[in-house]
Amino acid sequence: MNNIAALQDGKAVGDRMSRVDGRLKVTGGAKYSAEYELPGLVHSALVGSTIAKGRITSIDTKAAERAPGVLAVITHLNSPKVPGFAAKSNPDEPPAIGQPLRVFHDEKIYFNDQPVAIVVADTLERARHAARLVKVQYVAEQHQTNFEANKSKGFLPTQAKRNPKSAQNDYTRGQADGYQAAPVKLEAEYVHESEMHNPMELQSIIAHWEAADQLTVYDKVQAVKGTQRAFAKDWGLPEQNVKVIATFVGGAFGNGLHNWPHETAAIIAAKVTGKPVKLMLTREQMFTMVGYRPKTWQRIQMGATKDGKLVGITHESVGQTSTYEEFTESTVQQTRMMYAAPNVSTRYRILGLDVSTPIWMRGPGEATGAFALESAIDEMAHLVGLDPLEFRLRNYTDSDPEKNKPWSTKYLKECFQAGAERIGWSKRQLQPGQLREGDWLIGYGMGVGTFGANRGTAKARAALLADGSVLLQSATTDIGPGTGTAMVQIASDALGLPTDKIRFELGNSLFPQAPSQGGSSTVNTVGSAVNDACLALKKKLQELGGAAFANVQPEQLTLSGGQLGLKANGGPRMSFADLRKANNGQDVEVTTESKPSGDARQNYSMYSFSVHFAEVRVHAMTGEVRVTKMVSCADAGTIVNQKTAGSQMIGGAIGGIGMALHEGAVMDDRFGRYVTKDLADYHVPVHADAPPVEVYFVNKPDPLVDALGTKGIGEIAIIGVAPAITNAIFNATGKRIRELPVTPDKVLLA
């Protein structure tokens, strides 16, 4: 993070500004979903099924109903029917085929710990106690939760069958399975267990029917507008009758991109009791009903010439989903565009098991796919006797070989160079197992990441208030990257107003339309909308300023010093007070919509790129792996805030360490239930696991993605990290471990 000097002088964009909500977060003042005080608020607890497949035959709720403080016990037997559940179409956001679980709809059980009852009581303790008194009888059917045993039943997703243009269809460039003709060939299978997002904030909701047809939810979601639409459709209400608040979201990593059964359970409970109902999941429930990165099997077959030119790659994948929704992700797609191989085939399948539905987890399918692709690249480099960095350079592509289009920008080579210098790549030995300090074997590895520089459509409102400050609003969310901070910086430059005179509000469905915070696209999408709203505000102020400003371009205008004027010295000036007067004493306000340019999207391929370098130490006797240093380099376009963007990269690297070494759900197939159900059984990286992470940004704008030149950071921060670590383990030990997480037993037995 030492290229600040290259940034625009005196501008807010590029500044290492501290977070606008930092003070609230360090004082306990930031309110998350479960933390709103509403009059008459009551508490609730869920009862989950103890079988993975079958049906409920009876529920005895008498004891629970008679327990002190209990207001209601709701099951499928007495639940009010959710009008939208009758409809077959999916009222939810993800492009999954199927029907999200209809909670308390009928007696059917689709996965273990499926909510079968909700107990509402005046206190949390009483709700939790009474939930234990609910007795449920089932008829169990034979469930299928074993991935390996069922892998051959993987199928092409329905969306691909229906739509020949779907990216989930099989793909071939050149000869199908053309790798076979190459003189040097490899075939390898890669597997990782399901991983749970496990944000620190438990999934929480307060549901409040403010009137019979007016629903307000304080909900931990990544899309307030999407959630508003989903619940409006469920309950047959006009969208404006549903209000969704998510001002602060305590991490999500993707699991707030879907609406889950517990949310509707709380809404039903609020309907039945006529009171605001709070539901906070337990940590165990975070493993069973709010999504996960699906267990995935992959096979790579790769062929190259002896001098290290790729001839072909075939990449196949089977990812887990539930029996009631077809979850898909882009596991194999980067294999089509990352390297200059003339022959590429990809085949993506999904496998429905008696489990809950997965959802995108940071990096999503690309992080999964990069583990296989970047491992295989490392394996092939080793086979042909080349340094893996050199091997990647020999197969580097300056245009998109999948779409036959130029890249909008691609500065991956600069990332390679910067990263190699910073990790000390020259210390890496070509042959594994050469570096040792005492019992510790030392190795170096790298992995490349890429993710689409996506941009959606969003609206923003900008208003000049009486106190001379500007208020901006858009219905995006902030799950942690620092959205509000970035928006204030963008607005500051657009308006010529200091950052402390600008406020950005988000996380409320009353604000102008914005998409979910996901897919690394918030700054591209909402940042563009904020930029445009600020320019429109200046234009409106210019109009109010009258004749004096008639011949001025809005770009030349600034709001500095409490007045509208020119950036250059001299020229017309008008105070905010006079501008308000000209606006009949009202706040001067605009709302604008911003869309990506169709032409640029048509003619260019737009991606962010990253490369991660890892130094690891592997204990020769115990198989313990320690990541001792990481360098993460990103070509992510303009960096709006070096501090918060750097933190995102560091967080992605540490998340990738979890993926590589710690995280994996263990299913007990006898019961179809996870054995790992808390943070003692399911390991995530802690302080002691986190090495120093050095971050480098190319920080060159991509003006084709958006006017700000941003490309997106969140996903590429983790994509490619896991293979960088497993490749470093190979370099340290000569052991190739193709199954994540790499726990010490796997190192010892390899």
Partner 1 sequence: MEHETPPAGCPGHDEARRTFLKQSSLLTALALAPGAVVRAAETEFDEKVAAAFEKVSLKLDVNGVKHKLSVEPRTTLLDLLREQLHLTGTKKGCDYGQCGACTVHVDGKRVNSCLTLAVMQDGKKITTIEGLAEGDKLHPMQEAFIKHDGFQCGYCTPGQIMSAVACIREGHADSEGEIKEYMSGNICRCGAYPNIVAAIQEVKNGGQKV
Burial 672-699 (b: 16+ CB within 10 A, else e): bbbebbeeeebbbbeeeeebebbbbbbb
| Alpha-carbon dihedral sign for residues 639, 642, 648, 653 | positive
Residue nearer to partner 1 on the CB measure, 21 or 366: 21
Q: Which amino acid is at 242?
A: V
652 binds partner 1 (CB under 8 A): yes
Q: Are strands 607-619 and 588-594 parallel, antiparallel or unpaired?
A: unpaired
149 binds partner 1 (CB under 8 A): no
- Considering only residues 124, 471, 620, 750, which one is a binding residue for partner 1 as defined by CB under 8 A? 124
Q: State the first-to-last Cα distance of the chain, in angstroms, to the nearest integer.
A: 38
724 vs 370: CA distance, rounded Å: 10
Answer for which of 465, 679, 748, 750 binds partner 1 (CB under 8 A) is 679
Q: Is 20 helix (H, G, I), strand (E, B) or coil?
A: coil
Choice from 627, 693, 708, 719 touching partner 1 (CB under 8 A)? 693
* Residue 715 annotated as catalytic: yes
The Cα-based distances of 622 to 432, 581, 684, 740 in angstroms read 18, 76, 20, 18
C-alpha to C-alpha distance for 292 and 394, rounded to whole angstroms: 36
Return the range that interacts with partner 1 (CB under 8 A); candidates 15-23, 74-82, 141-149, 488-496: 15-23
The H-or-E segment that residue 74 falls in is strand 70-75
My answer on whether omega of the bond before 741 falls inside 30° of 0, hence cis, is yes
Considering the complex, what minimum distance in angstroms separates the CB of residue 248 from partner 1? Answer: 7
Closer Cβ to partner 1, 385 or 692, answer by number:
692
Single out the residue of 481, 479, 495, 585 nearest to residue 523, CA to CA.
481
Q: Which residues contact 442 (CB under 8 A, 6 or more apart)?
A: 435, 436, 615, 616, 617, 732
Task: Determine, following the binding rule CB under 8 A, whether residue 292 of this chain makes contact with partner 1.
Answer: no
Instruction: Pick the catalytic residue from 37, 437, 715, 739.
Output: 715
By CB under 8 A, tell whether 449 contacts partner 1. Answer: no
Residue 27 sits in the site that holds partner 1 (CB under 8 A)? yes
**Contact flag: residue 256 with partner 1 (CB under 8 A):** no
- Select 96 or 719, whichever has its Cβ closest to partner 1: 719
Binder to partner 1 among 15, 32, 110, 596 (CB under 8 A)?
A: 32
Considering the complex, state which of residue 94 and residue 655 has its C-beta at the smaller distance from partner 1.
655
Question: Binders of partner 1: how many residues, by CB under 8 A?
Answer: 66
- Identify whether the C-beta of residue 689 lies closer than 8 Å to the C-beta of residue 657: yes
Q: Structure tokens of 131? A: 């939930």
Considering the rule CB under 8 A, would residue 500 count as an interface residue with partner 1?
A: no
Name which of 335 and 489 has its Cβ closer to partner 1: 489
Instruction: Please tell me whether residue 167 binds partner 1 under the rule CB under 8 A.
Output: no
Binds partner 1 (CB under 8 A): choice among 7, 30, 38, 384: 30
Please report how close the Cβ of residue 678 comes to partner 1 at its closest, in angstroms.
6
Sign of CA dihedral 105, 106, 110, 115: positive
Residue 254 one-letter amino acid:
G
Among residues 197 and 392, whose Cβ is nearest to partner 1? 197
Tell me the C-alpha distance between 745 and 664, whole Å. 14
Residues in 387-446 that interact with partner 1 by CB under 8 A: none
Q: How far is the CB of 405 from partner 1 (least distance, A)?
A: 34
Cβ distance to partner 1 smaller for residue 22 or 274: 22
Site for partner 1 in 187-246 (CB under 8 A): 197-202
Q: Contact between 35 and partner 1 (CB under 8 A)? A: yes
Instruction: Give the nearest distance from C-beta 15 to partner 1 in angstroms.
Output: 13
- Cβ atoms 355, 672 nearer than 8 A: yes
Q: Smallest distance from the beta carbon of 688 to partner 1, in angstroms?
A: 5
What is the number of other CB atoms lying within 10 angstroms of the CB of residue 333?
21
Which CB atom, from 662 or from 738, has the smaller least distance to partner 1?
662
Under the criterion CB under 8 A, does residue 63 sit at the interface with partner 1? no
Contact 377, 727 (CB under 8 A): no
Catalytic residue IDs: 715
Q: Which residues bind partner 1 (CB under 8 A)?
A: 18-19, 21-32, 34-35, 37, 43, 66, 68-69, 123-125, 129, 197-202, 248-253, 280, 282-283, 479-482, 643-644, 646-648, 650-655, 678-680, 684-688, 690, 692-693
